[in-house]
């Protein structure tokens, strides 16, 4: 999964993103401070929202893959709350909690070739929550599938 991210989304390589956990129920990504630093010597907010976006996207990607749903996955909107400055290497975690939402999403996708899902992710530093992310993703059936 880490190779997939680095070769398909080069920004993840520039940020030094590492995949710590990647299952269809939980994704945990980490990134070092150095390539993501800002002028206050803390994590640049932009890097925070990128890591959270990648965690959520990866989780949905893995789940689509597991269930062999051939979808193009795009982000429609996102919001990010920056709760505290992050002074070192950091993580983003996204967990899949709502199996009912997934069944609804899957049904919509199979019926209409299009479905939307909202995912939440959190930024972590030294096991504390430092920021929270909400993203709406849309899965579109691939042409010809």
Residues that bind a copy of itself (CB under 8 A): 8-11, 14-15, 34-40, 44-47, 49-50, 53-54, 72, 74-82, 85
- Cβ proximity to a copy of itself, 28 vs 80, nearer residue: 80
- Cβ proximity to a copy of itself, 2 vs 78, nearer residue: 78
- Cβ proximity to a copy of itself, 76 vs 103, nearer residue: 76
What DSSP element (H or E) covers 71?
strand 71-82
Measured from the CB of residue 77, what is the shortest distance to a copy of itself in angstroms?
A: 5
- Cβ proximity to a copy of itself, 52 vs 107, nearer residue: 52
- Cβ proximity to a copy of itself, 79 vs 103, nearer residue: 79
Show Cβ contacts of residue 123 under 8 Å, excluding neighbours closer than 6 positions.
Answer: 48, 51, 52, 86, 90, 91, 92, 129, 130, 131, 132, 133
Which residues face 116 on adjacent strands? 138
Tell me the CA distances in angstroms from 88 to 30, 106, 115, 117, one per residue in order.
11, 38, 37, 31
Q: How many CB atoms lie within 10 A of CB 3?
A: 9
Instruction: Let me know: does 139 contact 114? Beta carbons within 8 Å.
Output: yes
Measured from the CB of residue 126, what is the shortest distance to a copy of itself in angstroms?
A: 19
Residue 120 CB-density burial (10 A; 0-12 exposed, 13-18 middle, 19+ buried): middle
């Amino acid at each position: 999964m880490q190779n997939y991210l680095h070769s398909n989304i080069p920004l993840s390589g520039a940020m030094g993103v590492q995949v710590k956990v990647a299952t269809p129920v939980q994704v945990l990504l980490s990134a070092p401070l150095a390539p993501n630093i800002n002028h206050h010597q803390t994590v640049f907010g932009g890097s925070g929202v990128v890591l959270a976006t990648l965690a959520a996207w990866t989780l949905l990607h893995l789940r689509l893959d597991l269930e062999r749903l051939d979808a193009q996955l795009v982000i429609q909107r996102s919001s990010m709350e920056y709760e505290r400055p992050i002074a070192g290497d950091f993580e983003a975690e996204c967990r899949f909690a709502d199996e009912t939402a997934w069944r609804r999403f899957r049904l919509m996708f199979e019926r209409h070739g299009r479905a939307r899902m909202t995912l939440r992710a959190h930024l972590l530093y030294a096991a504390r929550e430092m920021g929270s992310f909400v993203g709406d993703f849309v899965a579109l059936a691939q042409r010809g599938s």
